[in-house]
Amino acid sequence: MRGPDRTGRPLAYPRRMRLTEFWARLEAVLGPAYARSWAHDHVIAALGGRTVDQAIAGGVETVTIWRAVHVELELPARER
Q: Which pTM does this prediction carry?
A: 0.79
Task: Find out whether 44 and 50 touch, Cβ atoms under 8 Å.
Answer: yes
Q: How close are the terminal C-alpha atoms of the chain, in Å?
A: 7
Q: Distances in Å between the alpha carbon of 74 and those of 59, 68, 77, 79?
A: 24, 10, 9, 10
Query: pLDDT tens track of the chain, all 80 residues?
Result: 445 455 555 555 567 899 999 999 999 999 999 999 999 999 999 999 999 999 999 999 999 999 999 999 999 887 77
Rounded distance, CA 46 to CA 44, Å? 5
